Each structure stands twice: as C-alpha cells, then as structure tokens.
Chain A
Amino acid sequence: MDQLVLFVSLGFTVGAVYAVIGSSLVAIHSATGVLNFAQGSVALWGVWVAAELGTTGTLVLPVGELQLTDGPATIPVTVALGVISSTVLALLLHLLVLRPLRAAPALSQVAASVGVMLLVASLVPLRFDVTTTVARPILADSSVTILGAEVAVANLVMLGLAVGVALLLAGYLRFTRWGTATRASAEDEVAVLLTGYSPDRLAAVVWLVTGAATGLIAVVGSPSIGLDPLAYTFYVLPGLAAALVARLRSVLVACAAGLAIGSFQSVLLLLSTYDFWPVWAQAGFGDTVPFLVVVVALFVNGKSLPERGGVVSGRMPAVHPPTMRALPALLTLAGVLAAILLTEGSWRFGVVTSVIMALIALSLVVLTGYLGQISLAAMAFAGTGGFLLSRVTTEWGIPFPLSLLVPALGATVLGVVVGIPALRIRGAHLAVVTLAGALAIQNFVFGNPALTPYEGNLIADPTLGGLDLGVREGTNLTTIRFAFMVVVVVGALTWLTARLLSGRTGRAFLAVRSNERAAAAAGINVAATKLLGFGISAFLAGVGGCLIGYSRGQLSVESFSILVGLALLCTVYVAGITSLTGALLAGLLAPLGVAETFLESSLGLGEYYNLIAALALVVTAVLNPVGITGSVRAAITHARSRRQQHVLAA
C-alpha cells in the first residue's frame, strides 16, 4: 500500500506537466479551434532557458544571448525568465503561425504546429549546451508521511500548482465575460463578432495565460523530471490524451486526466519490478498509455467532440493526377541511374537513401495528399517493415523478393488497423492518434530490449539467383547492384501507384477527400476507401522500411525515430504533398538523402538539417501550402497563358 501511494505521488510531478498541457490544449481549442501539437515545445524552451540561467546566468534567445549575471542567476530570476520565454513563444506561435492559418484546412494547421514542434526540438541542442547544463532544485527537499509512505513535498507542490492552474483557467472561462465569450467562440466565431468581441483578442489572452502556465509547471518540475533535449516535446501526447478525455471541453477534467496518466505510468513502473510482470512489457510500456487513452477517448467521444462553426474552411491544395507520360518518367530514371553511376561512397549512399525516401514520401502523398487523411505514422509503418524484415531474413530464412513482400504485408495489416479510427474521426484528431501510435510503436517495439536486441535487428543481405545484392562489398559503401535493385523496386512501385492514382482508385480517393457526404451519395463506400488508402500507404512505407533495413544491414530505434518521420513529413509537405513529383522531390530533400549529404559533406552544416526542414515546413504551411511543385506548376501555367496572350496580341 505505501509503495502504491509512493509511486502514485511520484507520478504527480510529470502528471502535473501533462495536466497543465492538457488544460492548456482544451482552452486553446476553445479559443481557436486548433489542436496545438507544439504545446510541449513551449514547455521545452522555457525549461532550457531557466536551466541555462541557473547554470551560467546567460539568457539564451533563439538568436543571440544576453549575459545577465556572472555565475548562476537566482531562482526567482530563472523561473520568471523561463516562464516569460515560454509565454513569448506561445504568443509568437499564435500571431505568426496559427492565426494566419485560422481558416486553413486541418492539414495546414497540423503541419504548421508539427513544424514548430520540430523547430524547437532541433533548436535546443544547437542553442544550449545539452551535456553540462543542469536544472538546479527549485522546491524544498523535504517529505511528509502519507498513509505510511514518505511523499516528497515537491510532488505535492506540483500537484497543487497543476490544480491551481486548472482552477484559474476554468474560473476565467466560466465566470468572466471574456472567458464566456471564449467558450462561445468555440461554438460560433461569427456570432461572437456580432456580439461585439474580437475572437483574435480573446484567443491571444488564452495563448498568453496557457503559455505562462505551461512554462511555469515545466520549469518548476524540471529539476525532478530532469533535463532532456526532447522529452518535453512529446509530453504533448499525454496532454492531448487528457484533453481528449475531457472531450476538449472541460479544463478540470483534462487536469485530472493528466495527473491520472502520470500516476498510472509511475505505477506501471512499480508493477514492472514484480516477478509476475512479463519481460516484454518492462520497457516502453508506459508510452503506450497515452496512445491507448487517445484511442479509447476518441472512440467513446468521437462524435461528440466539438467541431468548429463559423469560419469557412479553406481548401486543401489542388491535386493534379499523374498523366503517365513516358518521357518525363524515363528522364527521371536516367537521371537517377546517372547519379548512382557518377557517385561513390557517402554520396551514392545519399542518392540511394533519397530513392528509398521517395517511396516513403509517396506513401504520404497517397494517404494525406490524395485521401486527405493526416497521418504522422508513415515512419512507424516503415519501421514495422524493417523490423519484420530482420525476423524474415535471419530467423525464417525467406529469400529476397518474398522477403520484401512479407514485411510489407505485415505493415499493410498494421496500416488498416490504424485506419480503423479514421472511420470515425478526421482531421487533427487523426493526426493525434497516428502520432501517439507512432510514439508507442517506437518506444514499446523498436526501443524495447525484450523485442529488439541491443545490438540492433540484424538483417541478412539479399541475394537473387546466386547474385549478391548486398549493400556493402569490402570498402565499397554502396554497391551498384544494390542501388539498381532499389531503383527497380521503387520504380516499379511508383509506376503501379501512378496507375492507381490516375485511375478509379485515385478518383475515389479524391472524391472522399473533397466531400465525404457527396462521395457516399455517389455510391462510394467511404469506409472501405479509407481503409484501402491506409493499406496501400502502409504497404509502400513497409517496402521502404525494408529497403532502409537492407541498406543499413541492421536497424535500431534511431533508424525510424519519430523525429526522422516528422522531418520526412516536413520535406513532403514542402515539396508538395499532392503530387507524385512532390514525392520524388521530397526524396531528394529527405533525412539522410542527397540534400542532407550535401549539407553535411559539402557545407559541414549537417546539424542544421532538422532546423532548416522545420523552418521550411512552417513557412510553407503559412505562406505556400501548395508546396514547391505546386508553385512551379502555377508559374508554368502563368507563363504559358502570358505567351498565348502575346501570340494573340501579335
């Protein structure tokens, strides 16, 4: 019993962070209709600013820094400046990114806030010394005895802070006129305008308050939770889970749910020390909790979640189905083959990786660009493929072409399963499920020593009829045989996908994307079409994951980390998520592809890759949602029509 009390209370610290993030997400959703994936990043930035001040007395800004004191700053100064930094970040996020996107489709909003999430995550290791900075204790190191357990006061203070913040937010929303107007704006923004309030100003107040609260709880909790360049970023997931349990309506329920998730994860840790607990569930199991909570909450509450009325939703970027012309395809193929033959070493590896990444990017084009389903799990499907490939080649001895097919079919099954929630929910909610699922798969499957050995998942080289297709041969990093095999596989699948997208399947996808009601009225089985899209997408990603596996010889967590997945999403979105050409271009720009090789080898700027990708995503989402291929197409069309006018005029 005392053990249980102890672990429940230990969970309060991290649970309090979840709780405040969850409460903030509910309030922000009321005020703006946006699910802010970057709320964890708001916490992350404040925590590091405070820690740096507490260690060296330096106030770090995104660009530049101020030396405030010689030696560590005092606790009130560190806390205050940490909170202010978080608040400013939250306000900037509102003013520069999400407010311009208020009438944009859910995809743009998700892409933009995911971009900010990745931006902050990649900025932290660049701006802070992540090896030597420590978070100094802020709360007193004393304890009280409750039900026979020694409970640290710090945990109780965190609990109190979280509840206090939630009460404050709930009180504002319930009892003040502006708060009431904010709740009203969740229902109908135009009606709020017609009552004499500016929804923008109401939203700014909420961003300010929640930014400060999120910064405060994270800064105060950081000495117990520890400094991590990434962890806070993903605290948004339990926060989202808590917010969804509260049906995006009740700040207080979100707070309670956040605390409960924190405590439950802590109790799971306790349970995992007992003998009866299975070995496979010892690591990473806690990370499946937010995912399970999200799935259950969305299934139970799916229909009753508030949908915003009032502002007309903008259109998704237009789609131009593949024309299936031979010449551009052959030219592209020739270009790729030339690139393989003319390069060697890390450059050729970059080219091959780009080709593989183009296939995974294609899986996003199919699912998100054509079918309109926002998935952040493409890399998890790829990882499933690679993970199964290891089993298939080393344990089951399945030979080469089949060794691609079996794992890809495994990924397809997973894709269809992940697609089932998409039958009831859409837009940003689907993005939450897929992100939570991806994190759960990453930490519970790929990062679980019971399922994935420490030395990684070894993969046997492919051979076909006695021909060795392995990636390495002596000192040669990437053999031409392997590179050609990749080109053949990716080329064939791209060609097949182009056939699908330009035919009935693509037409049905676009009909569902355009208008689900009208699609049903045209006789299309919307549910089956969505599952088909998830299946095709996961199949492509699964094959991509296998090819990545073959190119590395072994796989570990890092190979398919969520950050790589989000960076890939960035590049696909920037390149143009609605076209086949966009997928190919995304391959060039993708993580570990040609562009990153160029940054790394030629410019020595490899560490800035994620930052640049994230920045490009945010800018694209706000200013140019059609992506590079879309704007090039528009420019060509414009030039053609000008030329025609000239001809007519002459």
Chain B
Amino acid sequence: MSSQPEPVLRTRGLTVRYGGVTANDAVDLEVHRGQVVGLIGPNGAGKTTYVDAVTGFARSTGEVWLAGRRIDRLPAHRRRRAGLARTWQAGELFDDLSVAENLAVVAQGGGLRGLAADVFRRRADRSPRDPVLDDLELTDEAARRPDALSLGRQKLVGVARALAGESHVLLLDEPAAGLDTHESLAFGEEVRRMAGRGSGVLLIDHDMNLVLGTCDLIYVLDFGQVIACGTPDEVRHDPAVVAAYLGAEVAP
C-alpha cells in the first residue's frame, strides 16, 4: 500500500469510439475523497463523452473503479445506486414532477418494493422533503415544477438531484452555464462544501473563474486525450492549454 489513499473514482484507459471517431482516447483520471477535480477543454474535446462513459451512458472500453469496486460492467442505474451521481448539461429534469419529487425519485426504491410501500404506507410519507433542498436554498421552490423556474434555478435543481441520496462521487457537467457571476461564485463555494463532506467532485465547466478558483487539480482534454494535468496555476500557464483554447501556435 502506498501512502496515497485509494482514489474514490479512477478510470484506466477509458476509450469511447463513435463510428470512426475516437471521442475519448485512453483517459486515465483519479478523484480522491474531499477533492474537487476540474475537467476542461475546448468544445468537442470529449468532456461530456467522458462523463457519459463513466456513468454508463456511452459504450466504452477500459476500467472504471468506484470506491475500490469495478463498475464498468454495470448498467447506469446500478452505477447510481453504487454511489456515482451526475448532472446533465441540459438539466434533464423530470418536468412532470415537482422539485421535491425530482429529488425523491433518487432516494426511493422502485419496482415491486415501491409498489408494496405505496399500498401499505401511511399518509405522511407521501411528500418527502430532502434536506439538500435547504442546503441549496431551494426550499421555496420545492412544490413548483422545474419548467416554472429560471434556467439557473433549474441547473441548481439538477445539482440537488445529484446530491440527493448517498453518493461517493459527483460528476458535474457544466453546472454553472446559465448562472450569472454572483450565482457562479456562490455555486463554487457550494461545490467546495460538497467535497468537504467527503465526496469526490469532478467539475466540468467553461467558466474559467469557477474552475480555476474551485478546483484542487485540473485535467485538460483535447481531441479525447489528456494533454495536461496540474494545479490551476500550472494549467493556466501551460502553453499547450492556451493553444488548445485559442488556437494559437505553441511556442517551440
């Protein structure tokens, strides 16, 4: 055993191919408990594909380990139950359920057990309220439908849904897109708090203020490959990263 504790999320050689295109090329990445790790890169670099592959929504090869357990053969819903939560770029909320119910879906058991619970439950269980709503200051919106909220609040509900229930790792796919500067700052603090509770967080976002200001470690993806990995300061001054973003020539 090394002195470094085992990462809570680790991928080894994760590769995704669509037709002839390699969207993720042997991505090795580690997230430790209490850590906020950033994943950045230009549009089309394969960041969302990476999240899809890890969570079971894109066919991939390579290994995915969650808290010491190999999960790359599990279907998506079992990966979630194993403690791997994610948000979506487009929110993907359940528009027919209230905000509180959007969260309740996660915590509940479904299937025949849920059926039995419905038949024999008491009246009080019917409108469950997750404490996460209070943490994210969504209490007032609990009874409303997602499509009645502003885009920023919808994004926050998506994050709340990922936080509901137990999870080891949170994958946040562009959670701050659509937030204004103030909301974005507050959101950064929230992300730090999530990590403070002992989860590992992987943060994807275009808002460089948020990513550089929040993350402990940043991976940079371009054309499906990790081209850099380091602290915010290292990444910010890495010529390959600047080139990937601005398309400028890399100084020889």
Partner-B contacts on A (CB < 8 A): 315-316, 318-319, 496, 499-500, 502-508, 510-511, 513-515, 517-526, 528-529, 532
Residue of A315, A515, A520 touching B76 (CB-CB under 8 A): A520
B106 interfacial by beta-carbon distance below 8 Å: yes
- A518 and B104 within 8 A (CB): no
Residue interface mask B78-97, A partner, CB < 8 A = 1 = 00110001101000111111
B165 interfacial by beta-carbon distance below 8 Å: yes
B117 interfacial by beta-carbon distance below 8 Å: yes
B25 interfacial by beta-carbon distance below 8 Å: no
A515 partner residues in chain B, CB cutoff 8 A = 92-94
What are 29 A-B contacts defined by CB distance under 8 Å? A315-B95, A316-B96, A499-B119, A500-B118, A502-B126, A503-B126, A504-B110, A505-B114, A505-B115, A506-B118, A507-B104, A514-B96, A517-B76, A517-B92, A519-B105, A520-B56, A520-B80, A521-B76, A521-B77, A521-B92, A522-B105, A522-B106, A523-B77, A523-B80, A523-B106, A524-B77, A524-B105, A529-B111, A532-B115
Given contacts A499-B119, A532-B112, A520 and B96 within 8 Å (CB-CB)? no
- A503 and B86 within 8 A (CB): no
A510 partner residues in chain B, CB cutoff 8 A = 94, 96-97
Residue of A319, A503, A528 most packed against chain B (CB within 10 A):
A503
- A521 and B55 within 8 A (CB): yes
- A513 and B96 within 8 A (CB): yes
A520 partner residues in chain B, CB cutoff 8 A = 56-57, 75-77, 80
Residue of A318, A513, A521, A529 most packed against chain B (CB within 10 A):
A521
- A503 and B118 within 8 A (CB): yes
B112 partner residues in chain A, CB cutoff 8 A = 532
B110 partner residues in chain A, CB cutoff 8 A = 504-505, 508, 524-525, 528-529
Shortest beta-carbon distance, A387 to chain B, in Å? Answer: 26
- B77 and A518 within 8 A (CB): no
**6 more A-B residue pairs beyond the given contacts A507-B97, A515-B93, A521-B55, with a C-beta to C-beta distance below 8 A:** A500-B118, A500-B119, A508-B108, A513-B96, A521-B88, A532-B115
CA distance A506 to B121 in the complex (A): 14
CA distance A510 to B102 in the complex (A): 10
- A523 and B94 within 8 A (CB): no
B109 partner residues in chain A, CB cutoff 8 A = 504
Residue interface mask B201-222, A partner, CB < 8 A = 1 = 0000000000000000000000
Shortest beta-carbon distance, A245 to chain B, in Å? Answer: 25
CA distance A514 to B161 in the complex (A): 15
Residue of A503, A505, A511, A526 touching B94 (CB-CB under 8 A): A511
Partner-A contacts on B (CB < 8 A): 55-57, 75-77, 80-81, 85-86, 88, 92-97, 101, 104-106, 108-112, 114-115, 117-119, 121, 125-126, 161, 165
A513 partner residues in chain B, CB cutoff 8 A = 96
- B114 and A504 within 8 A (CB): yes
Q: Which chain A residue has the least Cβ–Cβ distance from B81? A: A523
- A508 and B77 within 8 A (CB): no
Q: Which chain B residue has the least Cβ–Cβ distance from A498? A: B118
A524 partner residues in chain B, CB cutoff 8 A = 77, 105, 110
Given contacts A520-B75, A520-B76, A319 and B117 within 8 Å (CB-CB)? no
A521 partner residues in chain B, CB cutoff 8 A = 55, 57, 76-77, 80, 85-86, 88, 92
Q: Which chain A residue has the least Cβ–Cβ distance from B88? A: A518
A511 partner residues in chain B, CB cutoff 8 A = 94, 97, 105
Residue of B56, B88, B94, B119 touching A496 (CB-CB under 8 A): B119
Given contacts A520-B76, A521-B80, A525-B77, A514 and B95 within 8 Å (CB-CB)? yes
A496 partner residues in chain B, CB cutoff 8 A = 119
B75 partner residues in chain A, CB cutoff 8 A = 520
> Which 7 residue pairs are nearest across A and B when measured between Cβ atoms?
A503-B118, A504-B114, A523-B80, A518-B92, A514-B94, A520-B76, A508-B110
CA distance A524 to B109 in the complex (A): 8
